[in-house]
């Protein structure tokens, strides 16, 4: 697309139209002291000098490549198959732009169609879109779907939903005049006192913030009796060992796609996942890829049901998902294809076994107390430590470990200030777990 800047005559015409004598007149209301007087841009440097300086800045960070990572709470250090980004580096795929012209975009469209198919299989639901921004925005979009479908404004959020996701929902909900109420959690770490009367949706996370598995059939029964949609924020890496949430009563399933094919990326960009039942398809946000035949009778893929979207319906659209992180969504698709059903099951089994091993060792060797020990977990768990978790994490980092997330950072001012949230993925070897436990044990003695 060509770009032609305004000519001097264009500028004069526009200024005359609005009654201004110069461009400076447009900014006269801004005091000179508040105006930007120029950016402190240094002189140009040779490429080698720029690379050296940027490398020095990057070296100040300590990432999961430098430290053994046991952090989670929404972002997880899973293996990223090398083939994922090798495939995505192909020119026809290395773009996040929406494939409006199907005759030029069959490769991207077919990959997205296969992604949608795999997401439907994992969630047990009928329809998936072609991706959203991340797990938090996906939750907000799911609630928007539910409020539109039920014509209700009340939303019930389980207390053990990740506060980072709940915060995104609260931000969007403020503009939509939603009435958001939050439940507590019981001694088993699961949602308790769920009152769905008059609610558009009940939101739970599976596994929840504490790593505990929620009783989805029980919550689904409560939501169904009240005419509310059950929205489940599901960790898709668990679907190889857990029954699909759709089969347990979920009406809408959302997820953070980062664990499949996407690096931690300092928190983003990621890929949001959403799937729903057929009844709600016209309220589903974002792009939908469908299969059809062209005029020659050949199989083809196109964007479908576009009347839902903002480039046609404008302010009446279901959402405002424009060009999003489709490249990250394609990474999810390639990674899922790489795993396959058996690989996904093995992934889940390894996470499950290693998380249990790590929790048992922390209790036995580091003096930790497991929280909600009677409730099943998957790859994440919470423990109370005999020392300040923040100080323990700082000590562990000095010994080469990202020890976890202090729950006081997610739920401040509660009775979990001494608790640490630990995530264990398939990447963690037994030797790394043992060394991590020893480091935590030493930290608890040093900082207590």
Same domain, 250 and 374: no
Q: Please tell me the predicted confidence (pLDDT) of residue 246.
A: 98
Where is the domain boundary, 291, 306, 335?
335
Contact 205, 233 (CB under 8 A): yes
In a domain, 19, yes or no: no
Same domain, 294 and 360: no
Q: How confident is the model at residue 306 (pLDDT cuts 50, 70, 90)?
A: confident
Same domain, 140 and 121: yes
DSSP tag of 169: H
- Using DSSP, state whether 275 is helix, strand or coil: strand
Q: How confident is the model at residue 90 (pLDDT cuts 50, 70, 90)?
A: confident
C-alpha span between 251 and 279 (Å, rounded): 10
Strand 380-384: give its sheet, edge to edge: 369-370, 380-384, 419-423, 405-406
- Using DSSP, state whether 356 is helix, strand or coil: helix
Dihedral sign of CA atoms 225, 231, 232, 236 in order: positive
pLDDT at 309 over 70: no
Contact 130, 112 (CB under 8 A): yes
Q: Please tell me the predicted confidence (pLDDT) of residue 281.
A: 95
Gyration radius of the chain's alpha carbons? 25
The number of domains in the chain is 2
pLDDT at 340 over 80: yes
In a domain, 48, yes or no: no
Q: How confident is the model at residue 10 (pLDDT cuts 50, 70, 90)?
A: very high
C-alpha span between 356 and 338 (Å, rounded): 26
Same domain, 364 and 415: yes
Q: Please tell me the predicted confidence (pLDDT) of residue 321.
A: 73
**Mean pLDDT to the nearest integer, 434-440:** 98
**Mean pLDDT to the nearest integer, 196-202:** 97
In a domain, 363, yes or no: yes
Q: How confident is the model at residue 41 (pLDDT cuts 50, 70, 90)?
A: confident
**Mean pLDDT to the nearest integer, 425-448:** 96
Tens digits of residue pLDDT in 247-274: 999 999 999 999 999 999 989 999 999 9
In a domain, 407, yes or no: yes
Where is the domain boundary, 303, 335, 367?
335
For residue 249, count other CB atoms closer than 10 A to its CB: 18
Average pLDDT across the chain, whole number: 93
Residue 381's beta-bridge partner residues?
A: 422
Where is the domain boundary, 335, 354, 376?
335
Range(s) of the domain holding residue 347 = 68-78+340-447
In a domain, 43, yes or no: no
Same domain, 325 and 353: no
* Percentage of the chain lying above the pLDDT 90 cut: 81
Tens digits of residue pLDDT in 323-337: 668 899 999 999 999
Give me 279's structure tokens: 């009844």
Q: How confident is the model at residue 357 (pLDDT cuts 50, 70, 90)?
A: very high
Q: Please tell me the predicted confidence (pLDDT) of residue 322.
A: 67
User: Using CB atoms within 10 A of its CB, is residue 339 exposed (0-12), middle (13-18) or buried (19+)?
Assistant: buried
C-alpha span between 22 and 44 (Å, rounded): 32
**Mean pLDDT to the nearest integer, 404-430:** 96
Report the CATH number at residue 417.
Answer: 3.90.1150.10
C-alpha span between 270 and 142 (Å, rounded): 17
Same domain, 352 and 297: no
Q: Please tell me the predicted confidence (pLDDT) of residue 2.
A: 67
Same domain, 316 and 394: no
In which residue are the tokens 């994490």 written? 393
Same domain, 146 and 259: yes
* Percentage of the chain lying above the pLDDT 70 cut: 96
pLDDT at 156 over 80: yes
For residue 363, count other CB atoms closer than 10 A to its CB: 16
Quick one: which H or E segment has residue 230? Answer: strand 229-234
Same domain, 374 and 298: no
Report the CATH number at residue 271.
Answer: 3.40.640.10
- Phi, psi for 275 (deg, rounded to 5): -145, 150
**Strand ranges (DSSP E) for 48-149?**
68-69, 127-128
Residue-wise DSSP of 387-444: S-HHHHHHHHHHTTEE--EEGGGTSTTSS-TTEEEEE--TT--HHHHHHHHHHHHHHH
User: Picking from 2-6, 82-86, 309-313, 322-326, which range would have the lowest pLDDT averaged per residue?
Assistant: 309-313
Query: Which residue in 214, 203, 204 sits closest to 178, CA to CA?
Result: 203
pTM listed for this prediction? 0.89
| Range among 23-32, 106-115, 208-217 rated most confident | 208-217
DSSP count for the chain of H helices, then E strands: 11, 17
Tens digits of residue pLDDT in 94-152: 766 767 777 778 888 999 999 999 999 999 999 999 999 999 999 999 999 999 999 99
Q: Select the more confidently predicted residue: 304 or 258.
A: 258
C-alpha span between 246 and 136 (Å, rounded): 20
Q: Select the more confidently predicted residue: 81 or 309.
A: 81
Same domain, 103 and 115: yes
Give me 39's structure tokens: 């950016």
In a domain, 55, yes or no: no
Q: Please tell me the predicted confidence (pLDDT) of residue 313.
A: 65
């Amino acid at each position: 697309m060509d770009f032609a800047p305004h000519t001097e005559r264009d500028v004069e015409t526009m200024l005359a139209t609005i009654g201004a004598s110069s461009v400076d007149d447009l900014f006269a209301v801004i005091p000179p002291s508040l105006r930007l007087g120029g950016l402190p841009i240094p002189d140009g440097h040779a490429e080698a000098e720029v690379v050296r300086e940027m490398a020095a800045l990057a070296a100040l960070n300590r990432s999961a490549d430098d430290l053994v990572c046991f952090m989670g709470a929404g972002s997880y250090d899973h293996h990223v198959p090398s083939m994922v980004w090798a495939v995505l580096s192909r020119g026809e795929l290395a773009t996040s732009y929406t494939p409006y012209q199907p005759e030029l975009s069959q490769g991207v469209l077919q990959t997205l169609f296969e992604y949608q198919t795999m997401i439907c299989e994992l969630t047990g639901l009928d329809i998936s879109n072609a991706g959203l921004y991340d797990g938090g925005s996906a939750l907000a979009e799911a609630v928007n779907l539910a409020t539109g479908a039920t014509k209700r404004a009340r939303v019930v959020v389980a207390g053990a939903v990740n506060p980072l996701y709940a915060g995104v929902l609260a931000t969007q909900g403020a503009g939509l005049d939603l009435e958001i109420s939050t439940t507590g959690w019981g001694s088993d770490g699961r949602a308790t006192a769920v009152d769905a009367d008059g609610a558009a949706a009940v939101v739970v996370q599976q596994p929840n913030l504490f790593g505990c598995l929620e009783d989805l059939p029980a919550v689904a029964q409560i939501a169904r009796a009240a005419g509310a949609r059950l929205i489940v924020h599901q960790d898709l890496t668990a679907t190889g060992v857990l029954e699909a949430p759709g089969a347990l009563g979920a009406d809408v399933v959302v997820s953070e796609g980062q664990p499949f094919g996407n690096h931690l990326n300092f928190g983003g960009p990621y890929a949001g996942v959403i799937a729903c039942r057929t009844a709600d398809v016209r309220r589903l946000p974002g792009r939908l890829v469908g299969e059809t035949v062209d005029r020659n009778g050949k199989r083809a893929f196109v964007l479908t049901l576009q009347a839902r979207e903002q480039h046609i319906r404008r302010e009446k659209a279901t959402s405002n998902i424009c060009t999003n992180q489709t490249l990250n969504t394609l990474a999810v698709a390639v990674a899922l294809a790489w795993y396959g059903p058996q690989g996904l099951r093995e992934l889940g089994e390894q996470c499950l076994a290693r998380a249990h091993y790590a929790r048992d060792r922390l209790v036995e060797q580091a003096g930790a107390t497991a929280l909600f020990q009677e409730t099943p977990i998957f790859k994440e768990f919470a423990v109370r430590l005999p020392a300040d978790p923040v100080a323990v994490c700082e000590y562990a980092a000095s010994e080469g470990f990202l020890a976890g997330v202090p729950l006081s950072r997610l739920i401040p001012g509660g009775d979990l200030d001494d608790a640490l949230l630990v995530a264990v993925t398939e990447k963690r070897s037994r030797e790394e777990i043992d060394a991590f436990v020893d480091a935590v044990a030493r930290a608890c003695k040093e900082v207590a």
